[in-house]
Every structure is written in structure tokens, then in C-alpha cells.
Amino acid sequence: MEYIILILSTLVIFSVLLSKFGDDTGTPALLIFIAIGMITGSDVLGIIYFDNVNITQYISVVSLVVILFGGGLNTNWKYVKGSFKGAAVLASFGVLVTTFISGLFIHLILELDILYSFLIGSIISSTDAAAVFSILKGKNLKLKGRLKPLLELESGSNDPMAIFLTLTFIELIKNPDFTVLSFIVFLFSQIGLGIICGMIFGKILLFVTNRFKFSYEAFYYILLLSSSFFIFSVTSLINGSGYLAIYISGIILGSNYFIHKKSSIRFFEGFSWLAQIVMFITLGLFVFPSKIPEIFLPGFVISIILILIARPVSVFLSLMFSKFSLKDKTFISWVGLRGAVPIILATFPMTNGILGSEIIFNLIFFVVLTSVLIQGTTLPWFARLLKLDDNSANKIQSPLEFENNPDSNAKLVEYIVPFNSRISGKKILDLKLPENVLIVLICRNEVFFIPKGNTVINEGDILQILLEKHQIAETVKLLN
């Protein structure tokens, strides 16, 4: 047992350390994680022999839940509201168009059976939230205006449609007499129940988090984490889309205030990364690189079809009536990153015993890799080319973050020392501030420093003062 733990922890440590290398060279982190899995796996170093499709599915689904919930938590409805219509069309109609166009071209160019062509088209039809989130974030890529919320919303909500289409084509292959009607019912219950459950559970979770006062901060995180799995599984069991539901619950929490919100978001940020590392290593382990050469050519053709034809057509059709400019649409077409979802969907034909499902899996795996490699690495460059990047808003981490705590009346107030102020030139000690009133940070000429008792105050300094609400008046009197 210690041996297994040693290997797994080493893999994760390597992933983290090598992600630095990715930053320096512009390689998307998920490619590095997959590569680590592939190298350790059965074919290359042979340290781990792993070909269990069920475990792969299991790990991937659990990871996706965390990633989607974390993504939702980081999304504020107020900012994405404006992008809702565009994203909804892209996530439904757009996915349909992508499926049919790529299916059609795969059928015409590779002369594959028409149902198999559409099956492949449907598996690669959804853009991947994990890939899009991590590249937008990891590359510190700031996009202008409504582009970022649109892309995040789209990638977070287009999985149900892709899952639906994939299951439909699997069923059609298995059972040629199958009626499409029952699957239309299935689609509506997936999307409808997904949205309803997501909203109801999101509101309940919000209420519960704010209602109960736990003595340990960690309990809030555990409540959120376990609830995300609860929401996912309950919704899935009643035939709703669990993925959609947790994403929506996450957004509801992310758009409202709740206790320990900032630290919870940070907790999920860490956990999402861990989930991504574990998921992509697993997927890397599961694939057999020795099988790649034989599907290289068709795989490459499918990637080209997807990147250059299906995605752009789907984006331009979906956003035909929107206010997005030609440049915007071109860029959105390029952010058709595929990631974990297609690879997970590619295991569905396997568990359903579809003929040739192993080849399909390898094909999809290859398409995802090329998509991330080609689109992911060129995104920042592409954004700059189209002048859509926004480098004025480089986020600076605050040296001091303050979170409202239910148990205290403490408040952080900033105070600008007036010009010619009476206190300018005085030492903090000599101000005789009330007890428990602290000047915690001073910003002078745009440089932050932590003051001591003998620090002399200058006019124009910005003081950040920690005090209790009832002390404000008294303190202000001393400062003025």
C-alpha cells in the first residue's frame, strides 16, 4: 500500500513542479498533467499498468463536479447576466451544429459509417470548462468586456447537450429501431431538471451556510464540498443534468454573500486544481500512446474539421443576431477548447460495448490533445492579434484582505491623511489612539508598509485602520 501512495503522491508533486515549466514555456498545465500520466503509464515507463475504464469514469466524474462547482462559485451572476443569451444559444443550438457539421465532414472525408461519424461529432461537441477555466486563469489572460463571461458560461453549461447527443447516437447504433422521441423527452428533463435542481439546491445551500454558525471554519468548506456531490447525484438520479445543476448552484453561491466566502473560493480553487491534476493524470494513464500512430492521420483530419469548420460555423450561426463583432466571433471560435468532458464521453461507447470503441477513444484523445496544443497555446497570442486582451486590469493581490466575520464588529477603514494635517509629522504612538484601534498598513507614494509605533505619519498617506464600528467617531476625532 505504501508503494502505491508513494507513486501517486510523486505523480502529483511532479505535476505541480512541472506546471512551473509550463508557465515558462506557455504550455497549458493540463497537457503537462496528461503527459505525466502517459509517461508513467503502461506503454512508456510501465510503472503503472492501468486500463480500467470504470475507475477512469469514476475519477473523472468526481473531479468534474469539483471543477464545475468551483467554476460556478467564482462566477458572479451580475457580471455574466449580459452574456446569458449568447451562452445559452451556444450551449444548446451551437453544440447541435458542431455535432452535425463535424459528423457530416467526418463521414464525407474519412468515409466512416454515418452514425459513427455523428457519434464522434457529438463526443467532441462540447467545449470543456476545466480547460477553458484553467487556460483563461493560468495564462493570466484578461479578456475585454463580455468575452470572458460568455466563454466561461458556455463551457460550463454545454455538457448536458453533448452528453445527450452522445447517448442518443450510442443508442441509435445499438438499436436501429429506436425512436428519437424518447430522447427528446430525455433532453428536456436533463436541461429542465438540471436548471431547477441547481437553483433550488443552490438557494438551500446558501441559506444553510449563512444560518448555521460552525465553530470551525473548515466545516463550511466541508459542507460546500459534500453538498456539491449531493446536488450532483440527486439531480442525476432523477434524470436531470447533475453537471448543469452544480454549476448553477455554484453561481448562486458565487453571486451572493455567505460566511467565509473568500476563503471558500480559495479552498475550491485549490481543490479544483487537485481534481484537474488527478483527472488528467488518470486519463493520461488510461490511454496507450503506442496506439496513437495508427490513428494519427484520421485524428488530425478530425481536429482540423473541428477547429477550422465546425466550431467557427457553429459560433457564427449561434451569434448571428448578437452584438458581438466579427473579431469577437473569430476569437470565440478559437476558444473551442476540448478537454476532459470529451475524453470522459469517449469512455461511454466502451462501457456500452460499441464495436471499435477503443479506436474511438484514441481518436477523441488525440483530438483533445491537438485542440489544447494548437488552440490553448496560441490563445494569448491570438487575443493580442485581435486586440481583445485587456492588460490594463492586471489583478494585484491585496497585501491585506479582510473578511467580514459574523462574530466581530471589526471593520477596516481607509483614511487619507489630509494635506497640512495636524497629525502629519507625528508618531503613531503620540496619536493616543483608543485601545484595539490599529493602523495596520500605510500606503505612502503607492508603496505599502507596516507601521510601528514610532512611524511618522505624512500628509497624503493612506492609512488602513482596523477598529470596531462603535470606535469610528472617536478615532476620527483624534485624527482630524
Binding site for other proteins (CB under 8 A): 76, 78-79, 392-393, 395-402, 413-421, 443-448, 459-462, 464, 472, 476, 479-480
Residue closer to other proteins by CB (options 295, 465) is 465
> Shortest approach of other proteins to residue 409 CB, angstroms?
15
Residue closer to other proteins by CB (options 178, 449) is 449
> Shortest approach of other proteins to residue 151 CB, angstroms?
16
User: Which three cell numbers, joined as nine digits, stand for 256?
Assistant: 451572493
> Shortest approach of other proteins to residue 50 CB, angstroms?
41
Residue closer to other proteins by CB (options 25, 392) is 392
Alpha-carbon distance 201 to 69, whole Å?
Answer: 12
**Where on the phi/psi map is residue 459: left (φ > 0), alpha (ψ -120 to 50), or beta?**
beta
> Shortest approach of other proteins to residue 190 CB, angstroms?
32
Cβ 81 vs Cβ 316: under 8 Å: no
> Shortest approach of other proteins to residue 468 CB, angstroms?
13
Cβ 65 vs Cβ 279: under 8 Å: no
User: Which three cell numbers, joined as nine digits, stand for 175?
Assistant: 438499436
- Reported in sequence order, the residue ranges of 99-156 that DSSP labels E, i.e. its strands, are none
Number of H helices, E strands in the chain: 21, 4
Residue closer to other proteins by CB (options 4, 393) is 393
> Shortest approach of other proteins to residue 121 CB, angstroms?
37
> Shortest approach of other proteins to residue 140 CB, angstroms?
15
CB neighbour list of residue 369: distance below 8 Å, 6 or more residues apart: 31, 34
Alpha-carbon distance 56 to 33, whole Å?
Answer: 15
Alpha-carbon distance 325 to 331, whole Å?
Answer: 10
User: Which three cell numbers, joined as nine digits, stand for 296?
Assistant: 494519427
Residue closer to other proteins by CB (options 341, 441) is 441
> Shortest approach of other proteins to residue 329 CB, angstroms?
22
Rg (CA), the chain: 26
Residue closer to other proteins by CB (options 263, 421) is 421
Alpha-carbon distance 223 to 338, whole Å?
Answer: 31
For 198-262, the DSSP string reads HHHHHHHHHHHHHH---SSHHHHHHHHHHHHHHHHHHHHHTTS-HHHHHHHHHHHHHHS--TTHH
Residue closer to other proteins by CB (options 237, 473) is 473
> Shortest approach of other proteins to residue 462 CB, angstroms?
5
Residue closer to other proteins by CB (options 51, 401) is 401
In the 3-class helix/strand/coil scheme, how is 357-398 assigned residue by residue? HHHHHHHHHHHHHHHHHHHHHHHHHHHHHCCCECHHHCCCCC
